[in-house]
Amino acid sequence: MSDLNKVSLIDTSEEEQANLVQAIPSPKTPVQKQHDNLLDDNDDDVQPHTTTSATIAPEKKQQQDEAIIMTAAAEEEDWESDKKEHPLASLSLEEYENNDPWAAQPEDNALLQTNVDEEEEEEEEEEDDKTAEATLVQQPIATTSVFDVGNQQEPVVEEQLDEDTSATKGFQNFHDSDKIDDLNVTGQLPEWLVGEHFTIGPSTFDIKYTRKIEIDGELQNASAFYTFGHWFDALPLVNRFDLNGSRNSVTYRHRSTSRRLVEKIREHHGYAPQHPNALYMSNTNQTVLSKFLGSSKASKPDAEPCAARILANIPGLEGRLFAQNYANHVQELDPFDLKPTRLLQWNEINPKFKGTSSCPNGKYDSRTGEYINFSMEVGYQSVKYNFFSISDKNPKGSLLASVTAPMAYVNNFSITPKYIIFVICPILANAGGVKYNWNESIMDSFSFRPSEPTLFYVISREKGDVVATYRSDPCFVFNHINAFEDDRDGVYLDMICYPDDTIARQLTTEYLRNPSTMQPSRLVASEVRRYLLANIEEEKITYMANNSLIPSKTSVTTRIFGLFGKKQTPASSDLEYNNQDQDMNKWYSWMPIATYDKRVQPSIELPQINPKFSMHKHTIMYGLGFSAASSLKDGAIWDSIVKTNMDTKQIEASWHQDFCYPSEAVFVPRPSIGPEDEVGEDEGVLISVVMNSAKSTSFLLILDAGSLNVLATADLERLVPLSFAHGSYRLREN
């Protein structure tokens, strides 16, 4: 059993043996101790623990509560003349789909509940007292800062900051609730920004359970914890932000979407998934036999973790909010209360879309209205990647192509108007795929092979066949940026690349909570590469003559080696390929080389472009980066948002605030108001959920995408864990 999942017991004296035995988890940082009371998530009697800068007297607190209620009542009267725009108005499904602004139910708003239970008030006062005592022990730091909103600097005097300002707070449990909050907005939202913004990320890292142990011949209760071992494995939290630029308001609600799974883990003291790719890198704390003794019944909608991506719409599927995972699951959520309502697999839509895992990052073609994705079908001796498309016109979908290729972990791909660009990095199946079929985690089922190339498959969308394959240096990729065709029968592909899979193994719960133990000591730097797949039509002949040499077995050890094909050279001396001399006697030596050049200084992740430039040449790219100070700090994670120019290879602008750590910054383009209104590539906003570690809270950040100046912020009044997943938005007409 790994250190992440082990059970520790309190030593008891003879006088204490009759008492209830409590278990002590592995040694914790002060941040972990601060969040111990969040480990019983989904228990109604657990209150969120936050660190405040000062104690609020009960009388003053009561006056503040009454003021909030009176303010909410006044706003209620103001909205009576315009009921449809009330954020708490009750709307029908038809009204919602016809672009009416708000969709929350009135009984969900805690601010309008005037009958407050006296017992709840007493519990809140006790919690304030406890928090105040903890604050005195922490010895907060007093500071004066300047906050820049709309090019106006507003001084904030004598803020009380926590002593711990690290990012480790972003990897603790989140306390869930069903209430809706009207957030305090500082600054001004753009008038056109009216709609919903959805994000998904971790909610539950640790689950507390009780087990029986024997002490001196007597059975007693002991508490223990199951901890997910990787950032990507934590059970999901979905956030919904309703933004109204005309009213300059933001409404927030959230939900943990795997509540049933929490109870299942608590009951079984661990998690044994019944299908591959369910875990990224976590110890199940279960026996091998348990994986084969699971229930054959279909999983309930909230019993599968879908935490990799959230989409406001998937063409061809009924519903208005969907979450996806690395396995073959699509989870439909109610867009109002975020409750999971349905769980399906792609082969339920069309039997031809069969496979045991899928890609969480499907692509949307706005020209054709198609959503394109693939599922991986593992056979006895070969692996097929089944690419398919669905749309509103064709909800049953069509199988575009079935590609036989090495069994690999593939997180992303790209499309152009003519092609699908499918990249297989050499993170390949172990033991012929046995661990994968035994439902082991992704990083246990696949290993990086530095002696193998990165393969590029060019698939014709029209013909449904592979028309060419290319090779390049081995690398590891989380995210593609974009792909576009040139006028010389070539395709350019932009990706965020790493030298190997070390970055994936650094993002474990243990390393992120204890960054001083991270190995290597700093996050591996990425490169923004632009690959050139040249002369695709000419390379058809080469591919047709040699494609039988491409290994189709599930294990690298079964590959065929030979001396076939022609020698390839880079198209330009300015482009890179490092392994040309070593590769002349390999099975892939016949393949043309995909050359590349480096476009942006390291290190950037979670890239974003204006979605209107998808499949077209783009100039501007956004992403998360490092500030000058954090780039040299061991164990540091991304703490900045950057704007880069892919042509000049320069960083044009950046946003950074001390002690703050952003999650993905989603680009929302400004809508055009007419045929003569040309919207620039960087006209829009970036939206990110940012954790302020110094204040132990988070805020919604809205940046001008051109300058990265702050337009507005909305205080969430709670700490939301950091996320590496992908969000989505849905704009409505003003």
Say whether 335 sits in a helix, a strand or coil: coil
**Angstrom distance (rounded) from CA 391 to CA 397:** 7
DSSP H or E run through 468: strand 466-472
Q: Where are the alpha helices (DSSP H) in 562-626?
A: none
Surface-to-core class of residue 115, CB atoms within 10 Å of its CB (0-12 exposed, 13-18 middle, 19+ buried): exposed
Q: What are phi and psi of 419, to 5 degrees?
A: -130, 160
**Angstrom distance (rounded) from CA 153 to CA 131:** 32
User: In Å, what is the CA distance from 671 to each residue of 31, 117, 400, 516, 678?
Assistant: 43, 46, 32, 45, 10
User: In Å, what is the CA distance from 77 to each residue of 73, 74, 442?
Assistant: 6, 5, 54
**Angstrom distance (rounded) from CA 267 to CA 57:** 41
Amino acid letter at 135?
Answer: T
| Residue 565 token pair | 């094909």
**Angstrom distance (rounded) from CA 286 to CA 198:** 34
The closest alpha carbon to 508, from 169, 266, 187, 281, belongs to 281
| Residue written as token pair 């530095």 | 450
**Angstrom distance (rounded) from CA 373 to CA 364:** 9
Cβ-contact 347, 373 below 8 angstroms: no
288-324 CB burial, b ≥16 within 10 A, e <16: eeebeeeeeeebebbbbbbbbbbbbebbbbebbbbbb
First and final C-alpha spacing in the chain? 56
Q: How many residues does the chain have?
A: 734
* DSSP characters over 171-220: GS-------BEE-EEEE---TT-EEEEEEEEEEESEEEEEEEEEETTEEE
726 is in an annotated binding site: yes
Amino acid letter at 395?
Answer: P
**Angstrom distance (rounded) from CA 368 to CA 351:** 23
Amino acid letter at 628?
Answer: A
**Angstrom distance (rounded) from CA 291 to CA 274:** 6
How many degrees, rounded to 5, is the angle at CA 119 between CA 115 and CA 123? 120
| Residue 325 token pair | 């995972």
Q: What are phi and psi of 214, to 5 degrees?
A: -105, 125
Say whether 347 sits in a helix, a strand or coil: helix
- Cα Rg of the chain (Å, integer): 26
Surface-to-core class of residue 358, CB atoms within 10 Å of its CB (0-12 exposed, 13-18 middle, 19+ buried): buried
Say whether 530 sits in a helix, a strand or coil: strand
Q: What are phi and psi of 149, to 5 degrees?
A: -130, 120
**Angstrom distance (rounded) from CA 239 to CA 174:** 12
Say whether 730 sits in a helix, a strand or coil: strand
Kindly report whether the peptide bond that precedes residue 603 is cis, defined as omega within 30 degrees of 0.
Answer: yes
* DSSP characters over 357-380: EE-S--EEETTTTEEEEEEEEE-S
Number of Cβ within 10 Å of residue 732's Cβ equals 16
**Angstrom distance (rounded) from CA 612 to CA 684:** 11
| Residue 695 token pair | 């204040």
Which residues sit in the known binding site for Fe cation? 726
Which residues sit in the known binding site? 726
